[in-house]
Amino acid sequence: MIYKILIKLVSDIFEAEPAELGMDTSFYEDLSADSLDMYELILACEEEFEAAFTQDAAALEIDTIGDAVRYIAGMVGDRFGE
């Protein structure tokens, strides 16, 4: 469920086709994300997943959609069927 929600958010923010996104999609290399794009994604995730994201070491290591899914699952886990 987290993956599907995140794909929708990434698709909307980066104007990418959901079918072209996957766990290995890099925000920076594949989607050419900048700090503003990532900030917008963080805000959207905080609202969607009802969680406050912190700037801890794990958050700073997020590069791919898969990294983000695992990070979010660690924060909200059972609430979203993960």
Q: What CA–CA distance (Å, rounded) separates 26 from 33?
A: 9
Catalytic residue among 12, 24, 30, 34: 34
Domain coordinates in residue numbering, the chain: 2-12+27-80
- The confidence band for 78, taking pLDDT boundaries of 50, 70 and 90, is low
Helix (H, G, I), strand (E, B) or coil at 40: helix
Calculate helix-pair angle for 65-76, 35-49, nearest 10 degrees: 30
Q: Can you give the pTM of this predicted structure?
A: 0.88
Q: What CA–CA distance (Å, rounded) separates 78 from 60?
A: 23
CATH of domain 2-12+27-80: 1.10.1200.10
Task: Tell me, yes or no, if 56 is annotated catalytic.
Answer: no
Residue pLDDT, tens place only, 1-50? 999 999 999 999 999 999 999 999 999 999 999 989 998 998 999 899 98
